[in-house]
A and B are shown apart, each in its own frame.
Chain A
Amino acid sequence: MKNYYINGIGSISAQPTLGENDFSENFKELDQNIVAAFKPNYKEYIKPALIRRMSKGVKIGVVASSIAMKEAGVEKPEAIITGTGMGCVNDSDKFLKNIIDNDEQFLTPTSFIQSTHNTVGAQIALGLGCKSYNVTYVHGATSFESALIDAMLMIDEERSNVLVGGVDELGSYTTSLYNLIDHVKKEETLHDGILASNSKGAVFSEGAQFFVLEDKKNNKTYARLVDLALYNSLAEENIEHKLKQFLNENKLNISDLDVVIFGLNGDVEYDRIYKNLMGSVFKNKQQLYYKHLSGEYNTSSSFGMFSACQILQNQKIPGILKLNKVKETAVKYILLYNQYRGENHSFTLLSSC
């Protein structure tokens, strides 16, 4: 195993994450149940002729990846690895709706061509003329983490840098279906934030976080990605055991963790899993959350990793992320724990450099 350093980050989210200043300075808790991402000035990053044709997921993916690469000073990555739960959901839905509404007549190929899950990764490669390894992971709430595991393997296999990210766009048909089955929170329960909402479902949003992972540290390095583990299904009573096992494999104990970041999304049915750990094994730790800022989407955990990297580099924890008050110390190890609806669990361990 080699060392994996995060040397560049680009984020487009429901918060103003494009700023140069304190990363959380202008963050506000989301107060609607479906929130679009901030619109960057696409013209700064993408040729105008392409902007009109690209779907939002592709555009925010291209922008976030260009920012990450610029920051790391990488022009052509040696691998492009993308995680996306739903892929290009709007093009996919548009093509399907036309098939059904027009009884398979008068169709044009554009939205079909752009509907495949690998379109974001493909368009990044096309824009860069990058012929290297290119893969897209599409496994629900562990899509981004699957991409990270592959990125770590790539570094182990002697690649010096990898562009890796998570991206998902909101799709109106999908959210209208998720409304029906209470995956989207009822807006009227959101007056006092997601934690007080006491209702089923989550606030839905979209975003793209891309990272440049390199085998070498430099003066811009945010953090070191220590290790990552996925558990497709994990009984609640086994979480603590698996966590200890994961930390042991990295020669660490729970006492070594300085900060734990939870994927709490306000869903009364499944936040319980986090809350039980918060009240027991992580009781005296600095506990943070972020989905009140990023909203929920299959790859929203990449916003969690973005936040962790900022904290490790700045050695400052923004109040808006805090779930509890503990005495501030230097932050060396941060653990992210995420699951969605009781499935697709992941532990991501980061360290300062």
Chain B
Amino acid sequence: MIKGVAVTGMGIISSIGNTVEENFQSLISLKPGISRIKKINTVHRDTIKVGEIDLTNDELIEFLDLSKDNNYSRTALLAEVAVVEALENANISDINNYKTGLISSTSVGGMDMTEKHYYSQFKEIKNRKYIESHTAGDSTNKIANRIGISDFVTTISTACSSSANAIMLGARMIRSGKLDRVVVGGADCLSKFTINGFKTLMILSETDCKPFDENRTGLNLGEAAAYLVLESDRIVKEENKQVLAYVSGYANANDAFHQTASSENGEGAFLAMTQALKVANLVPENIDYINAHGTATPNNDLSESRAIIRVFGDSLPYLSSTKAYTGHTLAAAAVVEAVYSILALRNDVILPNLNFQTAMAETSIVPVTKILNKKLQHILSNSFGFGGNCSTIIFSKS
């Protein structure tokens, strides 16, 4: 077994908490963050439920101490809150004492402001400041400027698997010696764009989502940002750093089946899980818990279940999806669940799959539905997205 790349810090803001500790408390107290939407004026208000973060943009701006005339999208605001916590957690005082990079990810970017000012940007000069904050790279640039990373900075967008690929690239950059330290993660805010997009696909649940349930009704959208600090063995040694966990395996494969739907036997997911195990030099029996993608759409959960059975056979590890807590936070989902997986490892606790009642007829998989205290060594986390993008990350105990 190879040790992997050290995670030395993490930060998160989601609908179940504004910090890592708040998220953990909500997780172990079985408190979901799913409600009716308050901050977006949408006609679907009464027919969908979402994982919305309580803080308003003004409160976030105040927390981050930004100037009144800032042009931050909500995605950028959430991203900065999580990055600031991650750096504090990693106990980094001088970001540039080692070769440090930043790899962020998003799917909507500054869409929230563009949809708000779609026509008014032409009439009102004051709204034009948001033109440049629309692009996917904008929130990444803002983070980079705030924390002082000037060289290797990039942004990934592979829909709902985006931040898994950010973690993967970060780990590869450290393994190759191109970087000593890298901040990786992603952010997405709720927007009319995604609400209506998933609505037209008819995969938004009108009630609390039920991952892996026979009678699942679709997904709840959510908003979140989360970031990890990855550091080389050299930094860990030289600075005597506390290692929260190791990123020991990762893989990305493409389902090459359909632009949005997953293949029936989950070929892309199967390949991602198998290859990640290989990178980690582990066998399926070594995995103690699977943090599934488990969006609660009919298509994803069946396809993912079949892929998991193909990899793990009859002896399935404990499994759950945490999407019923946070909703599906799109580009941020993988790194949100990375934080949860690391919390699970550190506390030897398996996080439950809320709202589950009946196993799917096709697979009979029963996820963990209560807090379960177990010694955990290796956790496998899946994230899949439009475009057939399938990614798996494996976290191992430090």
A16: Cβ under 8 A from any B Cβ: no
| B118 & A130 in contact (Cβ 8 Å cutoff) | no
Among A133, A143, A156, A343, residue most surrounded by chain B Cβ atoms (within 10 Å)? A133
Give B172-203 interface residues, CB cut-off 8 Å to A: 172-173, 176, 178, 192-193, 196-197, 199-201
Contact count band on B: 35 or more
- Interface residue stretch chosen among B8-16, B79-87, B147-155: B147-155
Convert A127-148 into 0s and 1s, putting 1 for each residue whose CB lies closer than 8 angstroms to a CB of B: 0111111111111101100100
| B145 & A118 in contact (Cβ 8 Å cutoff) | no
Give B357-398 interface residues, CB cut-off 8 Å to A: 385-389
CA distance A122 to B387 in the complex (A): 5
CA distance A125 to B132 in the complex (A): 31
B111: Cβ under 8 A from any A Cβ: yes
A86: Cβ under 8 A from any B Cβ: yes
A126 touches which of B111, B192, B197, B259 (Cβ 8 Å): B259
Q: Count of A residues near B, CB < 8 Å?
A: 63
* Nearest B residue (CB) for A235: B150
Question: Which residues of chain B are near A137, meaning CB under 8 Å?
Answer: 154-157
* Nearest B residue (CB) for A178: B131
Give A144-161 interface residues, CB cut-off 8 Å to B: 146, 149-150, 153, 156-157
Question: Which residues of chain B are near A114, meaning CB under 8 Å?
Answer: 259
Closest-CB distance, A338 to chain B (whole angstroms): 15
B241: Cβ under 8 A from any A Cβ: no
| B43 & A132 in contact (Cβ 8 Å cutoff) | no
| B122 & A99 in contact (Cβ 8 Å cutoff) | no
Known: A125-B256, A125-B388. Is A86-B196 also a contact (CB below 8 A)? no
| B201 & A136 in contact (Cβ 8 Å cutoff) | no
| B169 & A150 in contact (Cβ 8 Å cutoff) | yes
Question: Which residues of chain B are near A180, meaning CB under 8 Å?
Answer: 121-122, 128, 131
B137: Cβ under 8 A from any A Cβ: yes
A85 touches which of B135, B144, B149, B255 (Cβ 8 Å): B135
Convert A67-89 into 0s and 1s, putting 1 for each residue whose CB lies closer than 8 angstroms to a CB of B: 00000000000001000011100
| B255 & A100 in contact (Cβ 8 Å cutoff) | no
* Nearest B residue (CB) for A150: B169
Closest-CB distance, A132 to chain B (whole angstroms): 7
B150 touches which of A86, A128, A139, A233 (Cβ 8 Å): A233
| A96 & B154 in contact (Cβ 8 Å cutoff) | no
Question: Which residues of chain B are near A343, meaning CB under 8 Å?
Answer: 141
B155 touches which of A139, A176, A229 (Cβ 8 Å): A139
| B201 & A153 in contact (Cβ 8 Å cutoff) | no
CA distance A138 to B157 in the complex (A): 6
Known: A122-B259, A134-B388, A153-B172. Is A112-B196 also a contact (CB below 8 A)? yes
B260: Cβ under 8 A from any A Cβ: yes
* Nearest A residue (CB) for B43: A104
Known: A123-B259, A156-B176, A180-B121. Is A131-B137 also a contact (CB below 8 A)? no
CA distance A20 to B366 in the complex (A): 60
Give A86-110 interface residues, CB cut-off 8 Å to B: 86-87, 92, 95-97, 99-100, 103-105, 107-109
| A132 & B115 in contact (Cβ 8 Å cutoff) | no
Closest-CB distance, B268 to chain A (whole angstroms): 6
Closest-CB distance, A254 to chain B (whole angstroms): 20
| A113 & B267 in contact (Cβ 8 Å cutoff) | no
| A140 & B135 in contact (Cβ 8 Å cutoff) | yes
| A136 & B156 in contact (Cβ 8 Å cutoff) | yes
A230 touches which of B118, B151, B192, B260 (Cβ 8 Å): B151
| B200 & A108 in contact (Cβ 8 Å cutoff) | yes
CA distance A121 to B157 in the complex (A): 11
| B140 & A122 in contact (Cβ 8 Å cutoff) | no
23 intermolecular pairs with C-beta atoms under 8 Å apart: A80-B254, A109-B200, A109-B201, A118-B385, A121-B387, A126-B257, A133-B253, A133-B254, A135-B156, A135-B169, A137-B155, A137-B157, A139-B154, A153-B169, A153-B172, A180-B121, A180-B128, A231-B151, A232-B144, A232-B153, A233-B144, A233-B145, A233-B150
Q: A135-B169, A231-B151 are in contact. List 12 more A-B contacts (CB 8 A).
A: A104-B196, A112-B196, A114-B259, A116-B157, A118-B385, A137-B154, A139-B155, A140-B135, A149-B178, A153-B169, A230-B153, A232-B151
